[in-house]
Structure formats: C-alpha cells, structure tokens
Chain A
C-alpha cells in the first residue's frame, strides 16, 4: 500500500508538471515516450529470462533513454516553443510501441502474461517502497519550490519572460523532474495509466489553478487513487489479482466523464 501511494503520487505530480510544461491539460507523464522506452527494454529483459531487479533497472534505463532522445531531438527551441519536443516524444512513443509489439509477437508464450502485466501496470513487483516515498517527498518539495514560477509559465513564453521568469531553464527543470518521477514509477510498477492524466486535470477543473495547492493535492489524490485501485485489484477476483492499471482506468473514466459534463 505504501508503494502504491508513492507511485500514484509521483505519477500525478509528473502529470501536473507535464501539463504546465506543455500548457495543455491533456498532457501526461508518458507523452514523451517514457513508458514505451521502459516497456521495450523491460520486455527484452523478460524475454531473456532476467530476474526482476534487472528488469526494473532496464525499465528505468529505457525510460531515461526515451526522455534523453526526446530532449536531444526536440528540445533545442524549448525557450520559445515546446512543439518540437512534443512531436519528438510522440514519434518516439509510436516507435517504441511498434518495437514492443514486435517483441510480444516473438517472445516465448509462457512469458507473455508477465509482459502484459508490466505493460498494463502492476504493483505486485514493487520492492522499493522506502525509495519511492523518499522520491515522492523530494519531488513534491522541489516542485513546490518552483510553484510561483510554474504559475507564470502557464502564460505564453514571451509573457512569462517579460515577467522575469527564465523560461528555458525552468522548462528544463520541469522536464527533468517530471521525467525522473515517471522513470522511477515505471521501473517499479510498469506503465500504470490514467493517474498522471486524470488526477491533475480533474483538480484543475475543480479549481486548483495555483501550483502551490495543485502540486501537493495532485500527489495526495494520485496516491489515494492508486491505493484504492490496488486494493480493488487484489480483491475483485481474489485469489487472482488484476493489473492495477485496469482499475485506475475503470475508476477514472467515469469520474472524468462526469467532470467533463460540468459547465
């Protein structure tokens, strides 16, 4: 449960940061290919029969690789325009998706369930709850330190710069922080979907527009949602467990649709 809360908190925090970085309420932690890179290397590790710690390390490396590639390909103009970074990330995610499908289609059949659980997101493997909690606390504290700048960063880059914000360095900090949060979670629990998109988006719709309130609220709500989803995943068809990513979507979609109906 401790690991579930920390993973949910990190994902929702990363989502909030990505939405501010891209000035888009539909941005989410996996937008730049972090889950695709992690998935590809983790699946290769699983196909080769490696033990979990090695698979986890490979997932972490794959996630960072995707983010570094996205930054190298599209980050050059980040002071003025985030579109090249976004496009590079979306292309990388598509490329990793194709390679993941390729690995799945040639992998040994007996390993496929484990691979699918990883791709859907599963907390059964998490073995570093203390590390995840330390990362969550550090990430929330760091993000809170940037909160006033992040408020201004919601404006156009030119306006934000005219108000005294160093736009490019702040955007790089956001990218790095969101990327690190995402990579840590993906390395421990695979690609748990929806938390990073829905939680910060819903909170913004509920009136959390200032980052000083939004960021800790996102961490709390994301953590709580994943704890709830994890509890349900373990009990709904007990003694079997469902991948927690299935439950986050099943819980989140109705809430999100209800929120969208609000004027």
Chain B
C-alpha cells in the first residue's frame, strides 16, 4: 500500500507553498512534517488524503490516481485527522467515535478504541461537555475506529497533556510497526526525532527538504525553518526517549 505524490505543487492564492514535491509514503513508516504556521502542512495532508486538488502534480494509491477512487473506497484505506471542529455534533462520545466506522457499514467493536484512548468512562457523556484534550482523544479514537492503513494526522498533539502526547506518538509507532503508514504534522523537533523515521521540512515558499531526523535536524536547519532564535528548540543531547 503505497501513497505516492509526484511533482506536487501547492498554492495558496498566488503564493506557492510547496513546489514539485516528490514523496512516497512507505508501509511501516512514520513521517513527521514540520514547518512554520501557514507553510502548507494542512493543505498537503488534505491533498494526500484526496480531499483537495493540487495546483500541479498528482497523488496515487497503489498506482491508481486518488482522484479516480470512489470516496468510500478511499476512506477504507486513508484516514485523516483534521484540526478540530466538532461544533455541529450533538451526540455522545460513543456516537461520535462510532462514526469512524462509517466507510465499512457493518457494526464494529467500540470498546477497545475507547479503552485505548481512556474514554470508557466518558462514553455516554455528550461530546460538547468534554475538555479540549478529552475531545482530541475522542477524535483519535474515531480515526482508530476507521482502521486506515494510511493515517494522516494534522497537529495530533494539540490539547493533549504530555502523557497523552507520548501515548499518541507510541500509537503512531505501533501503527508503523504493524506495517501501516503514518504522516503527522508536529512542531516539536525532539518528538519528531524520537518517533519519526523520516522528516519533511516545508519552508512555505516552495522549498522543501526530505530526510532522516539525524540528517535534517540541526540548529541551523531549525532557524531556517522557523526563524531566528528557534535553534534552542532542538535538544540533541537531552532527548526525550521513545516510550
């Protein structure tokens, strides 16, 4: 199951965010996507999910253009965790998580996914009574319920406390080790170094860089990515160890 982007160009209005990106998301891989606000990370994930069209280039799944796949067939392989917006949902946490199984139709066991994200006790609560972090866990459980082989996560650490951040990143690792692919946008280079096999830097002006954490993460590259004074973000000798 390969998700391949060929010569992908992304634009916001007249501004080129990403120019001629070639990327193959391999099975068993966790890819970290780093870039400043507005650099095109969310746009890239939407395009990789087949939900937005690039200005140029194309995305294929197993050699077949994503644009040619029926929506339900695509949703059986690719899951997207967009940034949060549950304003229109009126039901319980259990109802919300269950919707993740929509592409498959038949009922599926909810309990393990609720347990993984520590939502069992909250299952009957209306979603809109949860805290921001609890809601983020419900969104992750909904994605897990979809059981996609390719998970695209847009800022998945938002609202999560450190323990749940670690759990999310461990889940991403487990997914990769199970032969699935995960791409996630992150802002912390230390987490990225610990949990990602490869990194994609988006500079927001068309330029991009793809490489291993060891090859890409340097104080100078971080300053080039985020601006002056950000090199201290990278604590190479004081790394948080993988969970």
A residues apposed to B, CB below 8 Å: 20, 22-25, 148, 151-152, 154-156, 158-159, 161-166, 204, 209-210
Contacts and interface: CB of A to CB of B under 8 A. Distances in A.
A142 B170 CA distance: 44
A161 B91 CA distance: 19
A204 B90 contact: yes
Contacts of A162: 49, 51, 75, 78-80, 82
6 contacts: A152-B99, A156-B86, A158-B46, A162-B78, A163-B75, A165-B71
Given A164-B102, A210-B95, A24 B51 contact: no
Contacts of B95: 151, 209-210
Contact of A209 (B87, B91, B100): B91
Interface residues of B, number: 28
A165 B86 CA distance: 16
Contacts of B85: 156, 159
B88 interface: yes
Interface string B129-169: 00000000000000000100000000000000000000000
Contacts of B91: 154, 209-210
Given A162-B51, A164-B75, 20 more contacts: A22-B88, A23-B87, A23-B89, A24-B88, A151-B95, A151-B99, A154-B91, A155-B86, A156-B82, A158-B80, A161-B51, A161-B71, A162-B78, A163-B99, A164-B71, A164-B73, A164-B76, A165-B71, A166-B71, A209-B95
Given A163-B146, A164-B71, A210-B91, A158 B100 contact: no
**Chain B binding surface SS class:** mixed
B74 interface: yes
A12 to B, nearest CB: 16
Nearest to A82: B88
A223 B51 CA distance: 40
Contacts of B99: 151-152, 155, 163
Given A158-B82, A210-B95, A163 B103 contact: yes
A155 B146 contact: no
B92 interface: yes
Contact of A163 (B46, B86, B100): B100
B72 interface: yes
Nearest to B84: A156
A65 B80 CA distance: 39
A151 B94 CA distance: 13
Contacts of B78: 162
Given A148-B102, A152-B99, A164 B74 contact: yes
Q: Which 8 A-B pairs have the closest CB atoms?
A: A23-B88, A209-B91, A164-B75, A164-B72, A162-B80, A156-B85, A164-B71, A158-B82
Nearest to B72: A164
B75 A159 contact: no
A154 B76 CA distance: 20
Which of A156, A159, A161, A166 gathers the greatest number of chain B CB atoms within 10 Å? A159
A156 B88 CA distance: 8
Which of A20, A158, A163 gathers the greatest number of chain B CB atoms within 10 Å? A163
Contacts of A24: 88
Given A23-B88, A154-B89, A209-B90, A163 B82 contact: no
A24 to B, nearest CB: 7
A161 B103 CA distance: 11
Contacts of B51: 158, 161-162
Nearest to A201: B90
Contacts of A155: 86, 88-89, 99
A166 B73 CA distance: 12
B82 A159 contact: yes
B88 A154 contact: yes
Contacts of A152: 99, 102
B51 to A, nearest CB: 5
